Amino acid sequence: MSGKRKNFDSENDDLKKMKTNGHWSNGLLSAMEDPELIVQSNSKLVVIQDKFPKAEFHYLIIPREDIHSLKAVDKSHLELLKYMHNIGERLTQEPRHQSRTFKMGYHAEASMTRLHLHVISDDMNSPCLKTKKHWNSFTTHFLLDSKEVCENLEKYGKIKLLSSEYCKKMMDTPLKCHKCDYIPKTMPDLKKHIMKHLK
Ligand code: AMP
Ligand code: ZN
C-alpha cells in the first residue's frame, strides 16, 4: 500500500467543504502544489498520489498546461498526452510496483478540473472505494484507455468522447468482479470477494 494515505473517510467531507467555497472541482490545482501528494514533477507535468485512492496504488498525472478536460484536447496536445502516457508507464515499472498490473486512462466525464490521467493498480482494494460509481468508473469503458486516446488523437485529430447516455449506462452497469465471473449482490460482498484475487 502507498505510504502517505490518510483521510480515508473524508472525500465527501472534503468535497462538501470545498463546495461551500465554490472551489471543490479545483482541488487538483492545489494538490499539484502539495508536497505531501507530489510524487514527481517537471516543467510539463506533476504526478501526485490520488488523495482518495481507489486501489492500493493510484496516481494522477496532471499537465501544467491549463487544459480543462478531455473536451479541450486537440491534436496540438498529442505530444503532451503521449508524454503523460510514457511517464505513467515508467511509473508503473518502478520497483515498488513490481508484479502489479496497472490501468491508465481518463474518465470519460471527469469531476475534477484540469485534465488528469489516472494510473491505478488493478487490485481495486482501498477503503476509499465505496460506491458502485467508484467501481464502475474504473472497471468499465468509462475509463478511456490512455493508449487508445493517444492513438485516436493521432489518427483522427480528436478524441472519441462518450455520450452522456453511454456514460450513465456505464455507471449503471450491474456490479461484477473485474477478474472473474462473480456477481456480487452488494459493494461489501464485492469488496470481500476481491480479496481472493490479491496475491
Ligand atoms: P475524476 O473523476 O477523473 O475527475 O477523478 C478525480 C480524482 O481526483 C479522484 O480519483 C479523486 O479521488 C481525486 N481527488 C479528489 N480531490 C482530490 C484532491 N484534493 N487531491 C488529490 N486528489 C483528489
Ligand atoms: Zn472475482
The whole-number average pLDDT for the span 159-166 is 95
Output the CA–CA distances (angstroms, integers) from residue 130 to 12, 28, 80, in the order listed.
11, 21, 32
Residue nearest to atom 11 of ligand 1 (CA): 52
Q: Output the furthest CA–CA distance in the chain (Å, rounded).
A: 47
User: 189 lies in a domain?
Assistant: no
What total of structural domains would you count in the chain?
Answer: 1
- State the CB neighbour count (10 A cutoff) for residue 185: 8
In the prediction, which pLDDT does 10 show? 60
What is the whole-number distance in angstroms between the Cα of residue 58 and the centre of ligand 2? 20
Look at the block and give the residue holding cell 483521510.
7
User: 188 lies in a domain?
Assistant: no
In the prediction, which pLDDT does 11 show? 72
In the prediction, which pLDDT does 15 show? 59
User: 160 lies in a domain?
Assistant: yes
User: 71 lies in a domain?
Assistant: yes
Using DSSP's 3-state secondary structure scheme, residue 104 falls into strand
What is the whole-number distance in angstroms between the Cα of residue 28 and the centre of ligand 1? 7
- CA dist., res. 101 & res. 75, Å (int): 29
Q: How confident is the model at residue 61 (pLDDT cuts 50, 70, 90)?
A: very high
In the prediction, which pLDDT does 24 show? 86
User: 145 lies in a domain?
Assistant: yes
CATH of the domain at 64: 3.30.428.10
User: 144 lies in a domain?
Assistant: yes
The whole-number average pLDDT for the span 162-179 is 98
Ligand 1 contact, 115 CB (< 6 A): no
Report whether 175 contacts 162 (CB < 8 A): no
Instruction: Answer yes or no: is pLDDT of 86 > 80.
Output: yes
Pocket residue to mutate for ligand 1, from 29, 48, 112, most atoms within 8 A of Cβ? 112
User: 136 lies in a domain?
Assistant: yes
User: 193 lies in a domain?
Assistant: no
Ligand 1 atom at minimal distance to the Cα of residue 18: 19
The whole-number average pLDDT for the span 2-29 is 61
Domain span at residue 30 reads 13-174
